[in-house]
Structure 1
């Protein structure tokens, strides 16, 4: 196997002061990189990525408007202040629904799609820029500073960019404090970047007065890393400091930048003259925006900060709003226990029907879906959901009563599905669709109507009623034509109905509606493989793995198709990368064993195939391969035993019977061998000439 050339690496600039990191970055590159400050105190989520797009997009739009249009969804997700320049992205019902009509929220997976789309944008921008002779042979250099203070959205983006961007094309400079950031971003920096320490210069005597120092800290929106400024701010006169915060908030609000409303403005209002009033109002606006866009790390922080400032007795509605939205965000962040604490607190604090109706639904979802598997309790979830339905029926307004009852019944339907009661679930969802059509304004609750129809389509599919399911998928696509998940689901149903061409059309339509996600490419690759387009399938599986390296099914298929295509070195690399993430995968262990057989490495093949069967004793391919190896080594009884187990999986297979007959024959059991050969001859696809020759040996 040839040794691969080491990939160039990005640069990780470490230093506790921004000024020191700036000097180090300036010394590293001949031309100034595009620099953005990632400190979440400025613009909250996507402070860094949004700043990068704000710097690049106007020029790209002027030169290549088609490139910007192709990535408009992810650009506007990370940089909403560019709406005035680009216009609105294609609307989905989820995006336009407001208030209590917002009954579906984006999954946490959506935040991983945005960086992937931006990576594609940057790579294509670099390619076009070089093709026009602009900065040839130079990478596009991007300088992300203050990463240790970034929001989770920027950290997730940087992890993806560090992995996917080739430094020869898009070079990242990442500035952090002197210690390694925790979690995934620290691991990504260690793997993909070379560290560069930024030496500190000797500090000069401070010439600024105390007031100048603390006002500088306020002007930095609380992001300054100057200890003197922060210390002076802490010790400043509270009234003067609060007035300065209010003045700075007024200035930022007048500028109209939505980003500041998610970071700096709430900070200033919290420390201004009216934290419980103007402060909580700013926090609530930012919270609602972040929840609506699926920016859950920021939403959890904003919700808990707002809850801490809100009096639970005099401002019950605001307190419930902050707690409930924080709980929703915590669930999406994988902390259902903390969310449950918040719901239980609300149920104990407020003996109000609306509070108990809402939290009953949420407690049902926790116990049927979000808690760890060992803590799920579907009967208890059904009790909570039934309580929610009962309370919904007490709503006074007829239209609202219909909506709330149907919403609660939809939750109950999910619980019934998890209990295996598909017909009950179908009845609840179908009744909900009919009731909303009869009893509510057609212009209202459009999102929830689409959710119900989508749920009914899934229940139909689970019951095997595929034509009815397709009719509902067609209806929901017509209602919400820019929502990519609907095309993914309908494409999967087309496959079940045997219409692979329509499936691929739906997958490719979804690909054009927003940033990429791996399921689309994995599914299209599966269709291509089924139709013999192995190169196209390998390409799709490889891209799915570029998006999500831990996608096990894509890895298994990618490695297998490379091996079947004779691309053995590439297959070995894919298997090794897969086993690094999934060391107990029976299929990958089997692939390693099959590759070893291709190279006549019997010892590695034996070890790998044995490990595969230890992980999955019923894995057909491993049973057959291990049997053939045993036969070649003269262990004919072991070969027969393994092929007997394989036959339990496949039934009558002519090749398997042929191989088992050979092992019987080699062990001197001519009668058993002849019986296997004769059975094989009666099956389609048998190697008749070879079997007849071996049958003659039996005689």
Structure 2
């Protein structure tokens, strides 16, 4: 293995034009390297990652079909064209639901699981190569023009892939790379500037704009872009149509998400064929949780659609765009869209739908200082009232129950758990009673899951567990349900069943940190400190900012005596969470282990500044004060700790000792006497101290 000084690093190739970057990359790439273009206009979400998988997976599948199948969820998410090669992935009710029956959408966090699964796949691909003389090398160009999914994926791959095994070359323009990708490139990659090439042979204006269209609008040649903008509109539009026809004949799913909508928008029928292409792409991206692309597609369709002559399409684009914007944290823009629809259309269906969404904004998605649960309840109640006016019997039941489910969430946020339970339970019963068994299967499962959570919040654990069992029976391939049921097993004291559920979820798809954090917590409780450290460490490999994993990881390393590793974990955690009271307290405990009282005192003080009631910091600051003869300060700190814990024999003993050292035997005796009355007290030691008091 090469030394750290000679180990290869990932590489950013920076240049204004793709041909320049390509030429610089070719001089560095091995013969078996994979080269892909990430420009989002080609295939939308996962343009780059999908290209890499289409290049790698067929040959890997021929050698190791088991390896590919182990990762088929993430592979097919990024490269749906590989469905023809692989078996169909296990379907969840969320994936199967269509149209208005789709009442649950994927969390925005789901997109981060796909690249983590792909990293594991790449590691095994490289290890499985016949003669891995060097790293598996992939050149991702146009990263600065990539969809958010590819940018997120590249950032994770740069961080997690050891360049000695999987090396990434990332081609970008010369500008600043914002966000997570920019941070990852700056930390994990060297930079190479690509020299500009000489201008090629002169081309006519027609050749230039036609080249721009042939690139599907991805060319970074200023002359091609300018010629396209200046081309005769009708001729240019016909060329866009012809290019779209070719891509549609190819049948690739990715083209329908990127290049085809682009060409149809600029073709001869932008408001007809253009909006139809945008709508198909929008619906696909919303269903798969590709929210950055969905917001872009939705707003483009919204801008092209006439609100008076095409009301249904206009509302569809606005509503789907708003849903995506909420997932991206842009709740105010979503609110503007809902408000505009409410003002434009005096239609019951529009007001029913937007009432629900406005309720969700005010109870969940707006900034904390703008949440208004009472206003949310008013919107939700309005949605319920409008739902009851639906003419069709089954539809009326579905819409009413759906709106009541939103109202139940608001009631939960208001602390009205009994009311929330009544609404959800009535909804389950009504859908079962008034709709066909095969209809609304997703929403029936969502209601049962919600009822399980309300039961859990009310402390009705057995009822909650029964509902989790039911919902897993209805939707057995949805990993989050196993996570939730595992948590309920823990509350019921069955750690082994919890581990089984967590590990079942781990096998269902790409990894996510909550699973490993929860399993690590169980392992720690059972005394398996090494296993717990491993799980917390893996959760942090997935997401270094997962604070709970960081706190537990550092604390267990300290408890295990692995002080250098604990110090490194604390330092990494504080770099991301400088005000974490628990990490600062752990830093103080590390300093105490190393007899560094000054550092410990500073760390405990910082921890108490961040959280004045942190029990561990109060106690350890008191220990320091006592050791330095500051007995009154020790008494004060231990008193504050006792306010947090209630009567605790060890704390009472320590405060009594500080009182005695300060020359106050009577309050010391009171503390010792109270400590004697509590279970777990060290009676022999306390009696000795009482004797001293007397």
Please indicate the TM-score interval, normalised by the length of the shorter structure.
over 0.9
Deviates more, 1:25-34 or 1:531-540: 25-34
SS in structure 1 opposite 2:192? Answer: strand
Displacement of 1:649 in angstroms is 2.5
Structure 1: 5+ residue runs without aligned partners?
A: none
Q: Equivalent residue for 1:80?
A: 80
Q: Equivalent residue for 2:42?
A: 42
| Distance in structure 2 (CA, Å) of the matches to 1:677 and 1:359 | 63
User: Aligned runs of 1:165-314 on 2, under 5 Å?
Assistant: 165-206=161-202, 208-314=203-309
| Distance in structure 2 (CA, Å) of the matches to 1:358 and 1:695 | 71
2:132 to 132, 135, 147: 135
Displacement of 1:666 in angstroms is 2.6
| Distance in structure 2 (CA, Å) of the matches to 1:101 and 1:423 | 27
Q: Equivalent residue for 2:95?
A: 95
- Residue-by-residue CA offset, 1:94-123 (whole Å, 9 max, x unaligned): 001001111111110111111111111111
TM-score, normalization: structure 1?
0.96
Query: Does the C-alpha gap of structure 1 residues 473 and 179 become closer, same or farther in structure 2, counting only changes over 3 Å?
Result: same
| Distance in structure 2 (CA, Å) of the matches to 1:653 and 1:344 | 55
Q: Equivalent residue for 2:144?
A: 148
SS in structure 1 opposite 2:27? Answer: helix
| Distance in structure 2 (CA, Å) of the matches to 1:469 and 1:30 | 56
SS in structure 2 opposite 1:546? Answer: helix
1:451 to 441, 446, 457: 446
| Distance in structure 2 (CA, Å) of the matches to 1:342 and 1:685 | 61
SS in structure 2 opposite 1:259? Answer: helix
| Distance in structure 2 (CA, Å) of the matches to 1:9 and 1:469 | 50
Contact 2:95 2:287 in 1 (8 A): yes
Query: Does the C-alpha gap of structure 1 residues 200 and 405 become closer, same or farther in structure 2, counting only changes over 3 Å?
Result: same
The alignment status of 1:337 with 2:337, answered yes or no, reads no
Q: Equivalent residue for 1:21?
A: 21
SS in structure 2 opposite 1:11? Answer: strand
Displacement of 1:679 in angstroms is 4.5
Q: Equivalent residue for 1:595?
A: 590
2:616 to 607, 617, 621: 621
Displacement of 1:210 in angstroms is 2.1
Q: Equivalent residue for 2:110?
A: 110
Contact 1:26 1:32 in 2 (8 A): no
Q: Equivalent residue for 1:353?
A: 348
The alignment status of 1:604 with 2:599, answered yes or no, reads yes
What CA RMSD, in Å, does the superposition of the two structures yield over aligned residues? Answer: 1.7
Deviates more, 1:560-569 or 1:653-662: 653-662
- Residue-by-residue CA offset, 1:173-210 (whole Å, 9 max, x unaligned): 1110011222221121111111111111232441x222
Displacement of 1:652 in angstroms is 3.5
SS in structure 2 opposite 1:109? Answer: helix
Structure 2: 5+ residue runs without aligned partners?
A: none
Query: Does the C-alpha gap of structure 1 residues 377 and 672 become closer, same or farther in structure 2, counting only changes over 3 Å?
Result: closer
Displacement of 1:655 in angstroms is 2.8
User: Aligned runs of 1:557-568 on 2, under 5 Å?
Assistant: 557-568=552-563
| Distance in structure 2 (CA, Å) of the matches to 1:545 and 1:75 | 23
1:326 to 321, 326, 342: 321
- Residue-by-residue CA offset, 1:493-549 (whole Å, 9 max, x unaligned): 111111111111111111111111111111111111111111111111111111111
SS in structure 2 opposite 1:566? Answer: coil
Displacement of 1:215 in angstroms is 1.4
Q: Equivalent residue for 2:503?
A: 508
Displacement of 1:677 in angstroms is 4.2
Q: Equivalent residue for 2:155?
A: 159
TM-score, normalization: structure 2?
0.97
- Residue-by-residue CA offset, 1:565-586 (whole Å, 9 max, x unaligned): 0000111111111111111111
- Residue-by-residue CA offset, 1:310-334 (whole Å, 9 max, x unaligned): 1111111111111110011000110
Deviates more, 1:73-82 or 1:194-203: 194-203
Q: Equivalent residue for 2:662?
A: 667
| Distance in structure 2 (CA, Å) of the matches to 1:42 and 1:690 | 76
2:427 to 425, 429, 432: 432
Query: Does the C-alpha gap of structure 1 residues 4 and 142 become closer, same or farther in structure 2, counting only changes over 3 Å?
Result: closer
- Residue-by-residue CA offset, 1:60-90 (whole Å, 9 max, x unaligned): 1111111111111000001111111113210
Deviates more, 1:686-695 or 1:402-411: 686-695
| Distance in structure 2 (CA, Å) of the matches to 1:420 and 1:4 | 56
Number of aligned residues? 692
The alignment status of 1:12 with 2:12, answered yes or no, reads yes
Contact 2:30 2:137 in 1 (8 A): no
- Residue-by-residue CA offset, 1:615-644 (whole Å, 9 max, x unaligned): 222211111111111111111111121112
Q: Equivalent residue for 1:462?
A: 457
